[in-house]
Structure 1
Amino acid sequence: MRWLRSRRSGQSGRPIPVLTTERLRLRSGAFEDAESLHRAFSDPPSMQWWTEAPYTSLEQTRAHLARPGMGWRRWVITAHGSNLALGFVVAGEKRQGNVSEVGYMLVPDARGHGYAREALGGVLDQLFRAEGQRKAVADTDPENLASRRLLEQMGFGLEGMLRAEWETHIGVRDTALYGLLAADWTGISRPSTAPDRV
């Protein structure tokens, strides 16, 4: 995923409720989770497709997490019975409302267990079923095959390719833009056996 394409003019005004799935608990937070999340922000494979290069210090991660997330909500992913951050899912509501952009990241040792799929599914349930939003979108690099595979497994469809959309630490990059309508969301009933690598 990218961090992140939309620009916001204000807070979303929506709450960040605690969400639970079969194996996970998603809660608010992040700054206090900097040490755990730094495992992702400092990891070159995790940051390859982001606009920024991997962070070289915990202070960079803390500064990133302390920035106001104008219009964005962040759910920190934890396993049931643990408060250790395994990653996060974000949702930022678009200006017209009832359409949110989503993004996600896992720490390296949390990959391959289906956590990204399960956590994103919990957030999509919140957006579509609890809040009545009509659409979710996601922006990823065309070469980020793991992220594209995850989105497609969850029902997102490719809606467009935007050429030379991003200036990143690896150069100017295109964007693969995905969308999912609430009417097409069937939910996640159990963890996938397919590994996630995002």
Structure 2
Amino acid sequence: MPAPTLTTARLVLRQLREDDAAALFPVLSDAEVMIWWSSGPHASLAETEAYVKGNAAEGQGYHCWAITAGDDVALGWVILIDGKTQVKEIGYILRRDHWGAGIAREAVARVIAHGFDDLGLRRIFADTDPENGGSIALLERLGFQREGRLRGEWETHIGVRDSLIFGLLRDEWMMEKTGE
């Protein structure tokens, strides 16, 4: 089943499609964007096409939304990966020339709301590199709490890396939304 279309004031989040590869190649081939990703920058459009095809496929145990600003051009994505019952992992990537404009925060917040409000999740977590200050700041702004550090967790294109785990509970999200 495809990811449902989600909207915000500025964005349309829709199912990632195979034909988004050309728009996402500048994201996935950007060394600065990809430094904290589990794989290195893509060297060719063909590599991006294969990668996007895998993430766009349905029935893989996750939903992946293309982030668009209403023109249907993918600027990045947000993914919600199946975990335990009522628990999912969130991940995201955004084209560098859109950093700092609140787009990632808006898109991730909308997917979090969908997870808690529509899917009935009790917990959403994220896994990020300890040196990824932008992602850590985004998670903290959204109310995530640092839960732990996994030492030597990932073997990546920049070596073996630790991982910080951040978690957000449904009740915490509801309090954040209502301002209590």
TM-score by length of 2: 0.92
- Equivalent positions of 1:1-198 (< 5 A) are 15-67=2-54, 68=57, 70-80=60-70, 82-94=71-83, 96-186=84-174
Q: Distance in 1 between matches of 2:138 and 2:81?
A: 19
Aligned 8 A contact 1:39 1:108 in 2: no
Match of 1:192 in 2: none
| CA deviation vs aligned residue, 1:104-134 (integer Å, no higher than 9, x gap) | 0001222121000000011011000111110
| CA deviation vs aligned residue, 1:1-48 (integer Å, no higher than 9, x gap) | xxxxxxxxxxxxx65110001110000023111011111100001110
| CA deviation vs aligned residue, 1:144-175 (integer Å, no higher than 9, x gap) | 00000000000000000000001001000000
What residue ranges of structure 1 are gaps of 5+ in the alignment?
Answer: 1-13, 190-198
Question: What letter corresponds to residue 9 of structure 2 in structure 1?
Answer: E
Q: Distance in 2 between matches of 1:155 and 1:102?
A: 14
Q: Distance in 2 between matches of 1:178 and 1:66?
A: 28
| CA deviation vs aligned residue, 1:68-100 (integer Å, no higher than 9, x gap) | 4721110001113x1111110000110x32101
Point out which structure has higher relative CO (alpha carbons under 8 A, 6+ apart).
Answer: 1
Q: Which runs of 4+ in 1 moved over 6 A?
A: none
Question: What letter corresponds to residue 79 of structure 1 in structure 2?
Answer: A
Identity within the alignment, %? 45
Over aligned residue pairs, what C-alpha RMSD do you find?
1.5
TM-score by length of 1: 0.84
Count of paired positions: 174
- Residue aligned with 1:185, SS: helix
Higher helix share: 2
Aligned CA distance change for structure 1 residues 115 and 167 (closer, same or farther; 3 Å): same
Aligned 8 A contact 2:144 2:166 in 1: yes
Aligned 8 A contact 1:155 1:180 in 2: yes
Question: What letter corresponds to residue 33 of structure 1 in structure 2?
Answer: D
Aligned 8 A contact 2:68 2:74 in 1: yes
Question: What letter corresponds to residue 82 of structure 2 in structure 1?
Answer: E
Match of 1:8 in 2: none
- Residue aligned with 1:178, SS: strand
| CA deviation vs aligned residue, 1:46-76 (integer Å, no higher than 9, x gap) | 1101121100101000011112472111000
